[in-house]
Structure 1
Amino acid sequence: MKFSQWVGFIVIAVCIYILWNIKQLLLLLFTAVIIANFLNHGVQFFQKFRIKRGYAVLLSILLLVAIISGFFWLIVPPFAQQLSELFKLVPQGIDQLIIMIRYFISRLDPELINALPSNQKFIEQLQPILERIAGQGLSVFYTTLGIPLTLLLLLALTLMLLANPDAYRRGFIRLFPSFYRKKIDYVLKECDRSLQGGLTMILCQMVMISLLSFIGLSLLKMPLTLAQAMLTGILTFIPNIGIVLSFIPPVAIALLESQWKSITIFILYVIFYIIIRITEHKLLAPLVIENRKSLLPAFTLLSQVFFASLFGVLGFFLALPLALVSQVWLHEVLVKDILDRWHLQ
């Protein structure tokens, strides 16, 4: 290797080392970019009516504040009241479910029941893992500036990025060699499209499952319908794993009422997700994604494990946008520009 190549290699290695040590701050910056990108689409919508960007930014922020305020005013108070009761009932329902599973296994093979770990032993094995993931994810808040100042920093970064996104975009592109800047500009556009399509799909899925859950649980006269419906929608934001987790609270609470209700709710939620999948593929996907490649389920699951181990609980919840962006970069940079052009001499 030439001297210039060695210098370039050392510079890249040092940059990677620095980025690794500030990875939690980069996650905070990525969160600000996601929020700013979401608000920027609202700004662009208002600009279509020949409104100046400054006023469009103000309108977008005011609209977001109005939606959040209305949400906290109308929905959060009853949800918060029911949530505390929900956290009391769900563990009882889960205990009942575990008893039923153990009984079913004992009927199949009495010796197999002894091989299963007890609830206490299972919690003891799981606790260090959960503490490690939670500690990694939340350390970005309490090891930098504290939770209030970190949230204030997140808000300031979002507003700065939203005020003049093109300047930050050009600055980021200039970090790359001149011959590759056009490709980076294209990759950023693809990331924007992928995020817009993916997040729109998941938000529609969250709203639909919340509404269907509320209607279904109300018809079955289940307790805490609002809290269960809202929690189901929130968990749905987590791909794959969230869908499985969203089944647990309603089924566990229904099990405290009667066994047939828990089976009915389980079947009902399966039907709900089938309806949502059909609606996504037939109606939403052609309009939102526009024939672009969606995330493969295996890639999504692996990305959740990877980002949770890297960033902790925040990486787990941000796995979807991180996976969407990562897929574009891997496909456009690694596959197309490196692996597809790698020919043996």
Structure 2
Amino acid sequence: MSRPTEPRHPSLYTKRVWIAALVAASTLLLLTLLFLGREILLLIFAGLLMALLISLPTDWLLRHTFLSRRWSLVVVIGGLIMLLGAFMANFATNALQQFHQMSQVLPQSVSHLEQQLRGWPFGDRLVSHLEQNGSAGDVFSSWLTRVETLLSSTFGALINTVVVIFIGLYVAIEPDTYRNGLLSLVPPQRRQGSRVLMKEVRSKLSWWLIGQLVSMAVVGLLTGIGLWLLGIPLALSLGLLAALMEFIPNFGPLLAAGAALLVAFSQDPQALWHVALLYTGIQFVESYLLTPWVQREAVAIPPGLLIAVQVALGLMAGILGLLVAAPLTALCMVLIQRLYVEGWLGEGTIPSSPEVSSQAQESE
């Protein structure tokens, strides 16, 4: 009489293989979804930065005045609209005219530079090689024409900017709704630690944003005044360009300086060195004096890591990737430090109880 066959259970090794395959497939699927939806995710992150920009003065009014949060938000939004209106009334027209002039001056400057290079030993070969890929003056003219069209067009804000503004407004109006929604996805025993982590992320990004705004204002003001004192034309537009490009670390200041050097070269080749010294001095003050003082509470991003992230996001998402590369890197560094290094590897702990959280808040 034969024995009934017993069901065979998979071995421990087989289970581990299936678990590893499932984890690998899930990771690959998640990375694919992130890649396909990268522009949407970056737009959402930019909207959250906009909400943080609105919330900073709103929270200050809430702490130092008798206004409620909603009225503080109304005052902040009204103030921003008035500042934008004053800028449009007093400076936007002149800036657009100067950008139009710059779109004509820079291609002429590049052509003049090409003629100067042809007189150098290897300059003729270099210019010939560049002309095979298209004239540099035509490239500058095309790029500046696009910038000018974007700035002067009635619909220049585009749908992406509208999306970012509305995300920022809705999140700034009711931040607790979105914060509590995210916390509801976390296990109950981890919610207190997640709340502390969210506060830290907000603090780090706030300091980074404050530092960038201060740097943009100082660099734009010093650049405009310095170029005006040196007698360089288009000082207003070049100062505004330097302020805007300061939001993109590493690459932005180089682009702004290159435009100013070409304008100076078109007027007087001798003024080229004065403009170069001006931009070098301003960047020295910004990099070694202003930024360390303002962002002492923010995340210190290694320059090599930031450049790598900027290049990667710039290739994947264009200008939007360059704009959010620095704050996104700061956010990821905080999350990796708290969740992986301290939480997973055990080099420190994320508070998960009210007692530990209250101690952390008192230390702040």
Smaller-chain TM-score range? 0.7 to 0.9
The offset of 1:147, in angstroms, is: 7.3
2:321 counterpart of 1:321: no
Equivalent positions of 1:86-165 (< 5 A) are 86-101=102-117, 103-104=119-120, 106=121, 110=122, 114=125, 118-123=129-134, 150-165=160-175
**1:1-22, Cα deviation, whole Å (9 max, x unpaired):** 5899988887666555444432
Higher relative contact order (CA 8 A, sep 6+): 1
List alignment gaps of at least 5 residues for structure 1: 135-145
Paired position in structure 2 for 1:174:
184
Aligned with 2:303 (options 297, 300, 306): 297
Q: Is this contact kept in 1: 2:47–2:163, CA < 8 A?
A: no
Aligned-residue Cα RMSD (Å) equals 3.3
Equivalent positions of 1:240-319 (< 5 A) are 240-280=250-290, 285-286=292-293, 288-319=294-325
Paired position in structure 1 for 2:227:
217
2:46 counterpart of 1:31: yes
The offset of 1:89, in angstroms, is: 0.6
The offset of 1:182, in angstroms, is: 3.6
Paired position in structure 1 for 2:3:
none
Paired position in structure 2 for 1:140:
none
Q: Is this contact kept in 1: 2:171–2:178, CA < 8 A?
A: yes
2:209 counterpart of 1:193: no
Distance in 2 (CA, whole Å) between partners of 1:231 and 1:305 is 21
**1:189-215, Cα deviation, whole Å (9 max, x unpaired):** 222122222222222222112211222
Number of residues of Structure 1 aligned to a counterpart in Structure 2: 317
Question: Which amino acid is the alignment partner of residue 268 of structure 1?
Answer: L
List alignment gaps of at least 5 residues for structure 2: 1-14, 147-155, 348-364
Distance in 1 (CA, whole Å) between partners of 2:335 and 2:119 is 49
Distance in 2 (CA, whole Å) between partners of 1:314 and 1:38 is 17
2:74 counterpart of 1:68: no
The offset of 1:240, in angstroms, is: 0.6
The offset of 1:117, in angstroms, is: 6.0
**1:294-342, Cα deviation, whole Å (9 max, x unpaired):** 222112111111211222221112222222222222322233333566x
The offset of 1:44, in angstroms, is: 0.8
When normalised by structure 1's length, the TM-score is 0.79
Task: Report the 3-state secondary structure (helix = DSSP H, G, I; strand = E; otherwise coil) of the residue aligned with 2:333.
Answer: helix
Distance in 2 (CA, whole Å) between partners of 1:124 and 1:325 is 41
**Sequence identity percentage:** 21
Q: Is this contact kept in 1: 2:114–2:127, CA < 8 A?
A: no
When normalised by structure 2's length, the TM-score is 0.76
**1:245-277, Cα deviation, whole Å (9 max, x unpaired):** 111112111112222111111112212222333
2:95 counterpart of 1:79: yes
| Structure number, greater radius of gyration | 2
Distance in 1 (CA, whole Å) between partners of 2:209 and 2:317 is 20
The offset of 1:179, in angstroms, is: 4.3
